Amino acid sequence: MNALALAQALVRFPSVTPADHGAMDYVQGLLAGAGFACQRLRFGGIENLYARWGGDGPCLAFAGHTDVVPPGEGWTHDPFGGVIADGRLWGRGAADMKGGVAASLAAALRFAKGGKGAVAFLLTGDEEGPAVDGTVRLVEWARAKGERIDHCVLGEPTSVTRLGDTIKNGRRGSLTGRLRLIGKQGHVAYPHLADNPARALPRALDALTAPLDEGTPDFQPTNLEITTVDVGNKASNVIPGEIGAVFNIRFNDLWTPDTLQAEIRRRLDATGARYELTFDPCNAVAFLTARGAFTDLVADAVEEVTGRRPELSTGGGTSDARFIKDICPVVELGLLSGDMHGVDEYADVADLEALSQIYERVLTRYFAG
């Protein structure tokens, strides 16, 4: 089967996290039928799959997810119909990332017919949800079992304007903080008997949003955004006793979660405000797959198929690559965004097959030695 047929079949499974509805069974059947040794792993009710083919030498893995976000309303075509029209495959997950999974499957199935090497798949049904019982658990399992994985390609949609124009060779970290500015509630007519935390708010926000760094050759500057400020005061004649704020920091590899938290506390201390500060657990730390032989190999494969040399980027949000990097170097290469997570998500038919050809050339080049 070609990448389009595989993607169409996958889109027709309404696998909204944490439901699977047979998507992983379908993938397992394809891989098992081609001689892959498959291990179905269920963590916390989530379906995961580890599959491996080939010998004991260097192993290249493909990773991805078969779960999708809810479709929403207002689609032109059935979001789970797998409709092909106007040169596009329409449906939830066509771009993010059932199309990428299909392209890697088609490439690996072709390669397994005559190639030599070792190919693995790390597939999960928990990327769009909490991401606690998916790839992170697969990686832990593979490490405990001593499974050899030397490099990995994750098929998230990374292309910006044309297929293959961008490869992600790293990702920024993500850290969420929750701030509570403390005052003393009182009557607005007697401010001397109260302490309005709103007076400290501008100083605190200025301290938080001041530049953290100037970036690096591989990463853009660390950025902090205030996502909400809440007083919760329903009375116009009451000075509030506290103000809450939430912020998120996308940080580069100049920082760790610990050093970043320390810097935020230092800045708030300098304002003189009374505050309480907590941070959500951080499972997204900045990482970089250094430019070198592996990134060049993937870029060469892209250029061979498309005629264009891709750029390396660490921008955007987080992905499951943040877990995979704990066991091997990983890059991300996939389709255009195709209105991912939006209404009328799609993947270009021509891009699906071209991406599959790129993946197959990655395999051929990887095992050429």
Catalytic residues: 67, 127
Contact 115, 55 (CB under 8 A): no
List alpha helices for 12-118, DSSP H: 23-33, 98-111
Contact 122, 319 (CB under 8 A): no
CA distance 331 to 62: 10
Q: How far is CA 307 from the centre of its chain?
A: 27
Residues in the chain: 369
Token pair in block for residue 251: 């940080």
Query: For the range 229-234, what are the long-range contacts, defined as Cβ-Cβ under 8 Å and sequence gap of 24 or more?
Result: 229/201, 229/205, 231/198
Q: Quick check: helix, strand or coil at residue 181?
A: strand
Q: Residue 200 contacts by C-beta under 8 Å, 6 or more apart in sequence?
A: 181, 183, 271, 272, 273, 274, 275
Residues β-bridged to residue 37: 52
Contact 187, 333 (CB under 8 A): no
Q: How far is CA 353 from the centre of its chain?
A: 23
CA distance 258 to 265: 11
Contact 253, 219 (CB under 8 A): yes
Token pair in block for residue 350: 């021509």
List alpha helices for the chain, DSSP H: 3-11, 23-33, 98-111, 135-145, 201-209, 257-271, 293-306, 321-324, 349-366
Neighbours of 43 (CB within 10 A): 18
Residues β-bridged to residue 60: 119, 151
Contact 200, 188 (CB under 8 A): no
Tell me if the bond preceding 97 is cis, omega within 30° of 0.
Answer: yes
